[in-house]
Amino acid sequence: MKIAVASGKGGTGKTVVSTSLAWLLAQDGHQVTYVDADVEEPNGHLLLRPEITEERRFSVLVPALRGNSCSGCGECQKACEFNAIVALADRVMVFAELCHSCGGCLLACPDEELIEGPREIGTLAAGFANGESKMAFHSGTLDVGEARATPLIDGLLKDVPSDGIVLVDAPPGTSCSAMEAIRDADLTLLVTEPTAYGLHDLRQTVEMCRTLGRSMAAVINRSDLGPDQVRSYLDGEQIPILAEIPFMKEVATAYAHGQVVAAASAPFRDFMASVASYLLQEVTS
Amino acid sequence: MSNIAITVAAGQGDLSAPMDGRFGRAEQFLIVDSETGEVLRALENPAINDAHGAGTGAAALMKKEGIEAVVSGRFGPKAFEALTGLEIVTWIAPSGLTAAQALALFQQGQLERMQLQIIR
C-alpha cells in the first residue's frame, strides 16, 4: 500500500503527519517505509533521525558531442523542444541544465555524432529509523541550482520496495514534482489547514489529484484556528476528513524540538491512530 | 550592410516601440539595417512563455535570421553563452529608451558590449 501525503500549501504539517503515521504504524508492527520526496527541501530526517546506510549520486543522461566531426547542421537543435541545443557553425553547444533527457537529439543527428553521458543532479539516501520498531527510510536531495526535480523523484521511488506500507512525503504545490510524487500512490492524504491560503492551495491540489485520477482523504490540521470553509469544501468534494486536529501547544513544542510528534503527544497519537485505521481498512494495493 | 536586432516590448513593429530590457523574454525583435536605420521586419518571440530555455531559443532564432549584433537591456547567462558561441555581438542599452534611441546610441558607438560575468 502506497500513501502519498500532499498539501498544496507548504507548512500545513505534511512532514509531521507523515513521520507520525510512519512511526505509529511501525510501532504497531507493520512493515513501513518512509520516503521523503520533498527533494528541494527534505526535512523528514530531522524528525526521524535515521541511520543512513547507503548514499549514491543520481544522474540523468544528457547529450554531448562524440568527437570533432559535427557539421553543425542543426537537426538536433530542431528536435529539441527545450532549447537545450544551439547549433554553431561547426559544432553544437549543449545547455545540459535545460535538457529533459528525452534522447530525441541522438535520433535526429544524421551523422550519429551525439552520445549520451551522465549528469549528476542530486543524491539518494537510504537507511533505517525508529530504533527497535524499525522502519525503512529513503530520501532524495536535489542539488542547489537544479531546475528539474522530477527525474530525481522518479529515481527515488524506483528504489523503494513495494511491499508493506509506503508513506511518501510529497513536495508542496501542484508542479511536476508534486505530480511525480503522488502518481503511483493508492491514496493521497491531503494535509490542510483552515486558512484562506490553505483553502486556495487545497483546491489546486484536489484538482491535480482528480486530473490524475487519484483517490483522496484529508486531515485538517490546527482545525480550530480558522473559518469553516475548508471543511465545507472537502464535504462538497466528498473527500473524507479522517481527522480534525485542534491546535495543541504540545504538538508545536514537540515539533520545535525535532521530535516525532505522535511519539511525544498522546492526543496527537490518537488522531494518527484513527487516520491509520482508515488507511488500513479502506486502502488496498 | 549589417543586420542587428533590437528587443522591443509590444508596439507597432517600428522604432517608436519601447525597448524591452530582457533578451530571452522580449516581446518582439526588431530587425534593423544598422547603417540606414530601416526596420526590415519585426519578429514575435516564439520562446517568450517557455518555462526554461527562452534565452537559448531566442539566440538560435537570431542565428537563423542572420543577425550580427543584438541590442537589449540584459542578457541571461545561457543566452549570452549561446550568442557568444554564435559570434553574435551583445550590446547593452540603458533602460527606458525607445528602439529609435537605442539605435541612435548604437550608431554613435555609445553602447557597451556585455562583458563576461562569472555568476556562479
Provide the mean pLDDT of chain B. Answer: 91
A174 in the same domain as A79: no
pLDDT band at B12 (very low <50, low <70, confident <90, very high): confident
Question: Which of B23, B61, B40 is closest to A86 using CA atoms?
Answer: B61
Q: Give the list of residues 6+ apart from residue A252 with CB closer than 8 angstroms, or none.
A: none
Lookup: cell for A255: 515539533
A185 in the same domain as A163: yes
Expressed as residue numbers, the domain containing A186 is 2-58+121-284
Asked if B53 is an interface residue toward chain A (Cβ–Cβ < 8 A), one would say yes
Domain boundary at A91, A112, A133, which?
Answer: A112
Element holding B6 (H helix, E strand): strand B3-8
Distance CA A209, CA A28 (A): 29
C-alpha distances (whole Å) from A222 to each of A20, A31, A110 are 16, 29, 60
Chain B CB contacts of A88 below 8 Å = 85-86
Q: How many CA atoms lie within 13 A of A219 on its CB side?
A: 30
Over residues A135-164, mean pLDDT: 95
Q: What is the domain-level CATH number for residue A40? A: 3.40.50.300
What's the structural domain count of chain A? 2
A200 in the same domain as A89: no
Distance CA A166, CA A159 (A): 12
Is residue B119 scored above 70 in pLDDT? no
A75 in the same domain as A214: no
- Across the interface, whether the CB atoms of B47 and A83 are under 8 A apart is answered yes
pLDDT in tens, A94-105: 999 999 999 999
Is residue B39 scored above 60 in pLDDT? yes
The angle subtended at Cα A247 by Cα A245 and Cα A249, nearest 5°, is 130
- Across the interface, whether the CB atoms of A86 and B54 are under 8 A apart is answered no
A188 in the same domain as A103: no
Adjacent-strand bridge partners of A137: A34, A127
Amino acid at B101: Q
A194 in the same domain as A107: no
Asked if B59 is an interface residue toward chain A (Cβ–Cβ < 8 A), one would say yes
Amino acid at A28: D
- Across the interface, whether the CB atoms of B81 and A93 are under 8 A apart is answered yes
pLDDT in tens, A16-64: 999 999 999 999 999 999 999 999 999 999 999 999 999 999 999 999 9
Evaluate the CA torsion angle A270, A225, A220, A258 in order and state its sign: negative
- Nearest CB to B60: which of A83, A98, A145? A83
Asked if A162 is an interface residue toward chain B (Cβ–Cβ < 8 A), one would say no
Whose grid coordinates read 523542444?
A81
- The nearest CA of chain A is from the CA of B29 a distance in Å of 18
The angle subtended at Cα A170 by Cα A257 and Cα A159, nearest 5°, is 105
A195 in the same domain as A260: yes
- The nearest CA of chain A is from the CA of B5 a distance in Å of 18
Q: What is the pLDDT of residue A246?
A: 97
Q: List the single best residue of A65, A75, A81, A86 to mutate versus B (max B Cβ within 10 A).
A: A86
Asked if A175 is an interface residue toward chain B (Cβ–Cβ < 8 A), one would say no
pTM: 0.85
Domain boundary at A81, A112, A143, which?
Answer: A112
What phi-psi label fits residue A53: left (phi over 0), alpha (psi between -120 and 50 degrees) or beta?
Answer: alpha
A126 in the same domain as A103: no
Asked if A144 is an interface residue toward chain B (Cβ–Cβ < 8 A), one would say no
A215 in the same domain as A197: yes
Q: Are strands A187-192 and A216-221 parallel, antiparallel or unpaired?
A: parallel
Q: How many CA atoms lie within 13 A of A265 on its CB side?
A: 26
Provide the mean pLDDT of chain A. Answer: 95
- The nearest CA of chain B is from the CA of A88 a distance in Å of 6
Asked if A145 is an interface residue toward chain B (Cβ–Cβ < 8 A), one would say yes
Total count of residues recorded for chain B: 120
Distance CA B63, CA B79 (A): 12
A95 in the same domain as A17: no
Is residue B10 scored above 90 in pLDDT? no
- Across the interface, whether the CB atoms of A86 and B52 are under 8 A apart is answered no
Q: What is the pLDDT of residue A285?
A: 53
CA nearest A144 in B: which residue?
B120
Asked if A256 is an interface residue toward chain B (Cβ–Cβ < 8 A), one would say no
